[in-house]
């Protein structure tokens, strides 16, 4: 970003205006947030007389507005303000929730106990550092920062000030994943898919930091230990950052993980499949359903001796494989709540009770570090097998022609 003179609009705004391309904003609205802290004396304590946690949400765009809405519904939270680079957006959300709107975060320093930071990734470090250095706990949306060095600084600030630092890897709160981690499983092969349609959001990063980092965090939670090999390919189909990626990780423990992410698919797909000595586990993150398969005790003891079966037993085998020989359990996740509420509730409880968050700054840093190893690999990939040919996601080989000529071609799904 170009340096701006002190006191300029860029200097006082916490992040670029995500609504600047909308005709109804124009960036010239006269509203200026009052620098005085919001007065919420009537909401200072909850029904049990406990002091409410003073919170603010920094960035109330597509996702941040939901952070603000959920936090405002918690009886032990006092949402004292919302911040957005678009004054109109901040005012709209503040009016809906009965709180105060700000177009910069500085007036809230010293006025809150905790914040939720939902700005573009490039501003996570700048905003979070200001709060953490003052002992204000922060929930920072994923990825934690743009660089590992920035993440390390936030971790150090939180450690020095005693503030809680949680990273918004929301799939850790998916009830299907919560069910999985309760069970003894030692993954040896993992396959994950995270596909979704292009939304036009998070264009400051690519599919690795926007989507794949979710699965990197999950996989590294399931498979602790160093990763020995990383290889990846990716393509920037729409220009800019990579839109689709395939990565292969080999852990020192012998586990192998194949991971794909795409933000140009017509329909969402978020699945994780695990093969382990204990059996198989498959998660559909969209439906919040987990499916387990394990070998029966009988088969573990003596194997499945097909050659010893009579014809009648062989005829029944197809119907009996799943159920008798391979035991199956399917569990539907809790449909009464949602992951964002669970994540925010967990953060609030950690701040109030001085507990370590489930997704620590260190976990966010490790997922980011792995994401950068994948980015390094895909940027160095030689599509034609030679260093003087097409290299990286932005320089694909020249196409030999069109696959087909159909008016509705733009409606087909990316593989």
In angstroms, the CA 259 to CA 229 distance is 14
Confidence of residue 412 (pLDDT cuts 50, 70, 90): low
Q: Give every CB contact of residue 384 below 8 A, 6+ residues apart in sequence.
A: 390, 397
Confidence of residue 31 (pLDDT cuts 50, 70, 90): very low
- Of 32-41, 128-137, 290-299, minimum mean pLDDT range: 32-41
Decide which of 218 and 22 is more confident.
218
Handedness of CA 264, 267, 270, 276 (dihedral sign): negative
> How much is the average pLDDT of 69-77?
97
For 299-352, the DSSP string reads HHHH---GGG--HHHHHHHHHHTBTTTEEEEEEEPP-SS-HHHHHHHHHHHHHH
Structure tokens at 278: 């204990």
Q: Is the peptide bond before 142 cis (omega within 30 degrees of 0)?
A: no
Structure tokens at 102: 């700000």
Decide which of 201 and 345 is more confident.
345
Query: In this predicted structure, what is the pLDDT of residue 313?
Result: 72
Domains in the chain (CATH in brackets) are 9-168+340-359 (3.40.50.720), 173-336 (3.30.360.10)
Q: In sequence order, which ranges of 133-243 are alpha helices (DSSP H)? A: 148-161, 175-180, 207, 213-222
Structure tokens at 157: 């600030």
How far does CA 308 lie from the centroid of its chain? 51
pTM score over 0.85? no
pLDDT at 122 over 50: yes
Confidence of residue 45 (pLDDT cuts 50, 70, 90): low
Q: Note whether 207 and 244 are within 8 A (CB).
A: yes
**What are the pLDDT digits (tens) for 337-363?**
789 999 999 999 999 999 999 999 999
- Of 136-145, 249-258, 288-297, minimum mean pLDDT range: 288-297
Confidence of residue 309 (pLDDT cuts 50, 70, 90): confident
Q: Give every CB contact of residue 408 below 8 A, 6+ residues apart in sequence.
A: none
Confidence of residue 116 (pLDDT cuts 50, 70, 90): very high
In sequence order, the β-bridge partners of residue 327 are 294
In angstroms, the CA 70 to CA 68 distance is 6
Query: In this predicted structure, what is the pLDDT of residue 360?
Result: 98
């Amino acid at each position: 970003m170009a340096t701006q003179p002190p006191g300029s609009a860029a200097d006082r705004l916490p992040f670029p205006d995500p609504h600047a391309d909308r005709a109804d904003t124009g960036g010239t609205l006269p509203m200026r947030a009052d620098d005085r802290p919001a007065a919420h004396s009537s909401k200072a304590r909850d029904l049990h007389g406990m002091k409410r946690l003073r919170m603010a949400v920094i960035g109330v765009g597509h996702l941040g507005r939901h952070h603000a809405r959920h936090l405002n519904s918690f009886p032990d939270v006092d949402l004292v303000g919302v911040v957005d680079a678009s004054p109109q957006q901040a005012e709209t959300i503040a009016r809906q929730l009965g709180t105060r709107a700000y177009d910069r975060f500085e007036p809230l320093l010293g006025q809150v106990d905790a914040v939720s930071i939902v700005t573009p990734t490039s501003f996570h470090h700048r905003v979070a550092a200001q709060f953490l250095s003052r002992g204000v706990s922060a929930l920072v949306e994923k990825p934690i920062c743009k660089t590992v060095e920035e993440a390390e600084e936030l971790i150090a600030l939180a450690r020095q000030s005693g503030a809680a630092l949680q990273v918004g890897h929301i799939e850790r709160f998916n009830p299907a994943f919560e069910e999985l981690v309760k069970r003894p499983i030692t993954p040896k092969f993992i396959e994950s898919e995270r596909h979704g349609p292009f939304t036009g959001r998070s264009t400051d990063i690519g599919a690795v930091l926007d989507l794949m980092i979710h699965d990197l965090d999950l996989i590294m939670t399931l498979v602790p230990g160093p990763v020995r090999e990383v290889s990846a390919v990716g393509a920037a189909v729409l220009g800019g950052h990579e839109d689709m990626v395939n990565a292969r990780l080999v852990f020192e423990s012998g586990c192998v993980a194949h991971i794909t992410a795409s933000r140009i698919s017509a329909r969402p797909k978020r699945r994780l499949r695990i093969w382990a000595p204990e059996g198989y586990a498959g998660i559909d993150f969209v439906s919040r359903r987990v499916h387990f398969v394990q070998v029966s005790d009988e088969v573990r003891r003596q194997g499945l001796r097909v050659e010893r079966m009579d014809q009648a037993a062989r005829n029944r085998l197809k119907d009996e494989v799943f159920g008798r020989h391979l035991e199956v359990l399917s569990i539907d996740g809790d449909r009464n709540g949602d992951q964002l509420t669970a994540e925010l509730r967990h953060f609030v409880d950690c701040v109030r009770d001085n507990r370590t968050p489930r997704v620590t700054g260190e976990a966010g840093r490790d997922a980011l570090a792995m994401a950068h190893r994948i980015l390094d690999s895909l940027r160095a990939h030689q599509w034609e097998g030679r260093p003087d040919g097409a290299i990286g996601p932005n320089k694909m080989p020249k196409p030999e022609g069109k696959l087909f000529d159909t008016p509705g071609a733009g409606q087909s799904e990316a593989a």
